[in-house]
Amino acid sequence: MDEQQEDGRRPRRSYDEAFKRDAVRLVAQEGYTFKAAASLGMSEQSLRAWHAKLVPAPAPCGESASVNELKAENARLRKQLKRVEMEREILKKATAYFAKESL
């Protein structure tokens, strides 16, 4: 059974960096932190903290696009949207005009 301190808590264990990296690698293999934590006999919270520290978060935009590239794409898409909206209005007016003539 686990050793406990006088106040009922388990003593704090310390792990070296190599063990932490191997544990995080096990999370990648297992797919879930609770499975990996159970197989290592440790808390899931510790393993989650190591994973968050050692594995970089993915870039929010998929690839790491620069701010200037995103602004340029945004401007291009706004211009394209404006042109398409204008074309739609022209087609609406043409449809109404030809519908009037056929009556």
pLDDT at 62 over 70: no
- List pLDDT tens digits, range 14-33: 888 888 888 888 877 777 77
The mean of the pLDDT values for the chain is: 81
According to the model, what pLDDT value does residue 95 have? Answer: 92
Contact residues for 13 (Cβ-Cβ < 8 A; gap 6+): 42
| Lookup result for tokens 């030809």 | 98
Greater confidence (78 vs 61) lies with 78
Rg (Cα) of the chain, in Å, rounded?
A: 30
Query: With bands split at pLDDT 50, 70 and 90, how would you rate the model's confidence at 38?
Result: confident
Greater confidence (2 vs 37) lies with 37
- List pLDDT tens digits, range 68-87: 888 999 999 999 999 999 99
Spatial distance between the Cα atoms of 38 and 32, rounded to a whole number of angstroms: 10
